Amino acid sequence: MTKYIFARLLATLPTVLLLLFFVVVLIRLLPGDAVDVLLAESGGRAETADYEEIERSMGLDKSIPEEFFAYTIGLLRGDLGTSLWSRSPVLDTIASSIVVTLELTILSLVVGVLVGVGVGIISAARRGSILDYCLRSVSVSGLTIPNFALATMVIVFPTLWWSWSPPLTYTPLKDGLWPHIYQFITPGLILGFGLSASLMRLTRTSMLETLGQDYIRTARAKGLRWERVVLRHALRNSLIPVVSLLGLQIGALLSGAVLLEQIFGLPGMGRELVTALNTRDYPMIQGIAVVSGLMVIVVNLLVDISYVLIDPRVR
């Protein structure tokens, strides 16, 4: 097992380096930089010498290879740089905002897994029934309605009908546990709904395949109850593709969180990222992209490890 984990860890190293490379290089290929943003209000023009002086003072005068090298070394020391605008360490900003993002993504993950896997099992077990058709129709809507559209409807219609809406401003934990959790429920449900739809469909397909296996028939022939066959024998063997999808969906969840944090006023990494992009705050964009990328890598590593737990033959 240790050898397996070590091998998986080694395999992530090139991914991390590639991630760093893309983050540092691609951001600098965007048109315009922080100096352009700074000068925008005065017409955006400056003498070349002035422009270069501002670039130097903001630390934007390094070449891309220099920047990549310096950033990688800094990262190894745990230094993600300093925001060009707030001039506070990027790590501090991420440390405070990642909590919000994690709260949202974990809640949506729980919703997505419980609903998606649960409904997938029911749908597979009741294959061809009206319930199956209804559940599949609902899951299609989860796949087709974009998060932002759902969020818009969830805000607009209750405002229109009842002069009420889900919380639209952020309540920190110090202002009360329930108000703090309450504000995550709506965005968590919206984000979880999209995830649950794809999980439901895959769970159903995987379950149907497993339920058609000989050993399931054998279990039934031995007189085991249908529920026990489904939950004990079929489900576990259907989980590997579902868990794989879950790992892949973490990236989608983080992307979805960017939009929903914006709409529901949640000060997570997504909102910091949007602000940083609009102001070309390179260190902040890099920091958030690296941390998000590492989160995806770590989750997928955990998924790989979980294969062994689910099916020891993988080892």
Q: Pick from 9, 13, 168, 231 the residue near other proteins by CB under 8 A.
A: 168
Picking from 277, 276, 258, 313, the residue whose alpha carbon sits closest to that of residue 108 is 258
Q: Pick from 129, 141, 144, 159 the residue near other proteins by CB under 8 A.
A: 159
- Residue 57 CB neighbours (<10 A): 10
Q: Does 141 bind other proteins (CB under 8 A)?
A: no
CB 42 to other proteins: min, Å? 4
Both tokens assigned to 294: 């590492």
Let me know: does 62 contact 70? Beta carbons within 8 Å: yes
Of 118 and 265, the one with the shorter C-beta distance to other proteins is 265
Distance CA 247, CA 231 (A): 22
Both tokens assigned to 83: 């925001």
Let me know: does 286 contact 81? Beta carbons within 8 Å: yes
Identify the bridge partners of residue 82 per DSSP, sorted by sequence position.
89
Q: Does 83 bind other proteins (CB under 8 A)?
A: yes
Q: Pick from 60, 99, 102, 170 the residue near other proteins by CB under 8 A.
A: 170
Candidate ranges 30-38, 68-76, 240-248, 295-303; the one touching other proteins (CB under 8 A): 30-38
* Binding-site size, other proteins (CB under 8 A): 57
Q: Which amino acid is at 53?
A: E
Let me know: does 35 contact 309? Beta carbons within 8 Å: no
Of 281 and 304, the one with the shorter C-beta distance to other proteins is 281
Distance CA 196, CA 193 (A): 5
Q: Does 123 bind other proteins (CB under 8 A)?
A: no
CB 207 to other proteins: min, Å? 36
Q: Does 152 bind other proteins (CB under 8 A)?
A: yes
Rule CB under 8 A: which residues touch other proteins? Answer: 30-33, 36-47, 50-51, 53-54, 57, 83, 85-88, 96-97, 149, 152-153, 155-157, 159-160, 163-165, 168-170, 172, 261-267, 271, 275, 277-281
